[in-house]
Homo-oligomer: A and B are copies of this chain.
């Protein structure tokens, strides 16, 4: 993990640059940004950018790329607060509850405008085009998730489409981006793209797993949010397929009855479905690691591998 320590300096500069980028003369924008953007979070996406950049020997405009991916992610969170009706976000009260949906949505738009500014700074139109694609995919993924829940159009295929679109596509840009900026050969770009995509899928699979099976204390929020919103995930899809009579009624009533969530959790544990899903996450993470094989063996590549493998055991 010494490689991760090397990231401290760029991550500190990142925080400074981010805080400067979201300055505004408008008071309400300052308030909401203090709350969401400058209050931190795990900064997984900038970290991916810095690691991928360094695994290649350093990319020009890595800071702009790191800022851009975090801005897109933060804007999505702000627009997501409405959708998920999340009671907590990063352990705090969701921003919109204090300032109203309006300011939440507009603050997201403000962040998107700053994203545009920061990618313009790179002078690389291909990067603008990639952000356009990923932003489109992200919006489509979120709407698809909403549509699948509304139409109860549940399937493994739709689950894979959703996690790829709403999470993995942006992570793929985090790791592909440095290769694009360095004008690396296509196979290097593709290897890093594949790593980010597979890592992102494993990451979302783990998030979804924890949403049902995790500990509320470790997560800092109640479990079962997806069940309440009618969003089926790998674990509930398998339970529904395997135990339609036990899981079906609970999922259809969105876990609203006393003890519903505990019954789902117990069923997942005793039936082995939870363990199967953990194995699927581990396999996805190993696939991600495999994609890096053609990169030189550096501490940065090993740090990317460690990040992926951590998805098999992450608790929060």
Binding site for B on A (CB under 8 A): 24-29, 75-76, 79, 82-83, 100-103, 105-107, 109-110, 112-114, 116-117, 119-120, 123, 125, 128-129, 131-133, 135-136, 138-140, 142-144, 146-147, 150
CB distance from A265 to the nearest CB of B (A): 27
Question: CA separation between A119 and B29, bound complex, in Å?
Answer: 27
Residues of B within 8 A of A117 (CB): 129, 132-133, 136
CB distance from A254 to the nearest CB of B (A): 16
Determine chain A's interface SS by DSSP, over half rule: helix
The answer to whether A110 and B139 have CB atoms under 8 Å apart is yes
- Which residue of the partner chain, among B100, B135, B139, contacts A146 with CB atoms under 8 Å? B100
Q: Given A112-B135, A113-B136, A132-B114, do A143 and B82 touch, yes or no (CB 8 Å)?
A: no
- Measured between beta carbons, the chain B residues less than 8 angstroms from A103 are 143, 146
- Are A132 and B116 touching (Cβ within 8 A)? yes
Q: A146 vs B31: C-alpha distance in the bound complex, in angstroms? A: 14
Nearest-neighbor residue (CB-CB) of A115 within chain B? B132
Bound Cα distance from A119 to B129, whole angstroms: 9
Q: Are A101 and B123 in contact (CB under 8 A)?
A: no
Q: How many angstroms between the C-alpha atoms of A314 and B66 in the bound complex?
A: 48
**Minimum C-beta distance from A170 to chain B (A):** 12
Distance of A6 Cα from B201 Cα, bound (Å): 52
